[in-house]
């Protein structure tokens, strides 16, 4: 089985005349179609809102596309809050879900009216001391612990995660917040990562809905929204069947009507934070094969490296690779596809069967639209690559320039050595 790039070899040949590899390129048409599908899948819930996880792809041009479909921003740091606010988002269009949060970040989130989602029981007191009083609207991240198992055997281990309130802390926290003047409550949970099954969201929703009913009964809290967070994944390998967001939406609706509606809580708004699902499949990392090494193994060296895409080095994650122009050629060569970092884990693929690769071939590394460019770093003094947008009309727009040496040395601009570098 194979994956088909959303850009052709002919298009790339024109693009690289102006923008040399490596670069990330995003598919506007795919992003729009997917955002529309998400909106339609949850249209049955009057207050539904997708808060795009900015950490996945913090590019204002892409976030602006999502805003056309009613999306807000899920932020986890000061700079993500600043980016969202600079784009004109504020108030309930921003969800601030962070952990080990400095006081200054809570202050800024409150200043722009973002919904604050607390990660820890002790942060109730910390937030009150920081702001002087608690906001009227607050959310809490819930971690029931244990192991979360989905029907097809996919599981994750919330009990080992550093995030969220325990069940006991959640109930006690709601009581305390209500006593301290909080009027509008939210619940948030993230129990499994990158699930490729239509069952995850409905199972998570049922668990959260039952907790919400119990919280209302035992604390009297007015629960306004339930945030299902992320976890809806994408098929990185070509043999996986993609999630069907419309089936997922229908599954959540079913448990909503089974649990919340009979409890008189049918007016609760549902929120999601699907960074990977919203953007992941609609990004490619395009790189050029520049060296072939024949030692104990066969290596293809690229002009991209883990600085441009860290997931394979960090997690051993699979990203499909297409050798452009050789899509129908037999995959009869075994390669490690590697970058130039002085780290042996700087590999995009290990023992991958691919067509014969020659120097100058363009490689498309799939599914880099989320947690691709955003996880970049500057080890070895490497510079992050440009980001491009393939527009619906076929034109290409630069949406983030490539880093330059002056960017790398900018934090030395208060020292004389910087001046000697000639920037």
Active site residue ranges: 342
Q: How many CB atoms lie within 10 A of CB 13?
A: 12
d(CA 81, CA 83): 5
Tokens (6 digits) for 18? 């102006």
DSSP, collapsed to helix, strand or coil, labels residue 188 as strand
Between CA 89 and CA 71 the distance in angstroms is 10
- Nearest 5°: phi and psi at 223? -85, 115
Radius of gyration of the chain (CA): 23
The first and second tokens of residue 202, run together, are: 């409905």
How far apart CA 197 and CA 154 sit, in angstroms, is 8
* Distance, first Cα to last Cα, the chain: 49
Q: What is the DSSP string of 94-152?
A: EEEE-SS--HHHHHHHHHTTPEEEE-STTHHHHHHHHHSS--SEEEEEB---S-EE-TT
Q: Reduce the secondary structure of 364-421 to three states and give it as a string.
A: EECCCCCCCHHHCCCHHHCCCCEEEEECCCCCEEEEECCCCHHHHCHHHCCCHHHHHC
Handedness of CA 373, 297, 360, 408 (dihedral sign): positive
Bridge partners for 97 per DSSP: 117
Long-range contacts, stretch 395-404, CB < 8 angstroms, 24+ apart:
396/11, 396/15, 396/19, 396/25, 397/61, 398/19, 399/26, 399/59, 399/61, 399/62, 400/59, 400/373, 402/23, 403/378
d(CA 43, CA 363): 39
- Residue 156 neighbours by CB distance under 10 Å: 19
Q: Which residues contact 19 (CB under 8 A, 6 or more apart)?
A: 386, 388, 396, 398
Cis-peptide into 22, omega within 30 deg: yes
Backbone angles phi and psi of 56, in degrees to 5? -65, -45
């Amino acid at each position: 089985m194979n994956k088909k790039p959303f850009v052709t070899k002919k298009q790339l040949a024109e693009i690289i005349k102006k923008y040399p590899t490596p670069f990330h390129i995003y598919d506007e048409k795919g992003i729009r179609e997917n955002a529309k599908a998400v909106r339609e899948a949850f249209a049955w819930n009057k207050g539904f809102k997708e808060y795009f996880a900015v950490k996945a792809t913090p590019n204002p041009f892409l976030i602006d596309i999502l805003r056309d479909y009613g999306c807000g921003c899920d932020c986890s740091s000061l700079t993500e809050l600043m980016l969202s606010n600079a784009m004109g988002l504020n108030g309930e269009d921003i969800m601030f879900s962070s952990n080990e949060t400095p006081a200054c970040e809570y202050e800024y989130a409150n200043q722009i009216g973002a919904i604050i989602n607390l990660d820890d029981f002790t942060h109730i007191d910390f937030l009150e001391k920081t702001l002087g009083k608690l906001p009227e609207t607050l959310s809490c991240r819930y971690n029931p612990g244990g192991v979360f198992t989905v029907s097809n055997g996919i599981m994750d281990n919330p009990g080992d995660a550093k995030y969220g309130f325990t069940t006991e802390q959640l109930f006690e926290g709601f009581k305390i917040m209500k006593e301290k003047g909080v009027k509008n409550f939210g619940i948030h949970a993230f129990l499994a990562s990158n699930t490729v099954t239509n069952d995850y969201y409905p199972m998570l929703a049922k668990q959260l809905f039952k907790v919400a009913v119990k919280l209302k009964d035992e604390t009297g809290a007015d629960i306004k929204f339930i945030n299902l967070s992320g976890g809806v994944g994408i098929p990185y390998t070509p043999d996986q069947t993609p999630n069907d967001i419309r089936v997922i939406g229908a599954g959540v609706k079913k448990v909503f009507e089974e649990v919340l509606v009979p409890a008189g809580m049918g007016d609760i708004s549902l929120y999601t934070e699907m960074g990977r699902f919203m953007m992941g499949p609609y990004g490619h990392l395009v790189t050029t094969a520049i060296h072939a090494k024949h030692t104990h193994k066969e290596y293809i060296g690229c002009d991209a490296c883990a600085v441009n895409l860290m997931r394979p080095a960090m997690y051993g994650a699979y990203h499909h690779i297409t050798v452009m122009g050789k899509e129908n050629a037999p995959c009869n060569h075994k390669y490690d596809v590697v970058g130039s970092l002085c780290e042996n884990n700087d590999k995009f693929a290990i023992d991958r069967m691919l067509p014969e690769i020659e120097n100058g071939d363009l490689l498309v590394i799939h599914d880099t639209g989320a947690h691709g460019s955003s996880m970049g770093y500057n080890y070895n003094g490497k510079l992050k690559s440009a980001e491009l947008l393939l527009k619906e009309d076929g034109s290409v727009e630069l949406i983030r320039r490539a880093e330059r040496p002056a960017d790398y040395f900018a934090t030395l601009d208060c020292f004389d050595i910087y001046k000697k570098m000639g920037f």
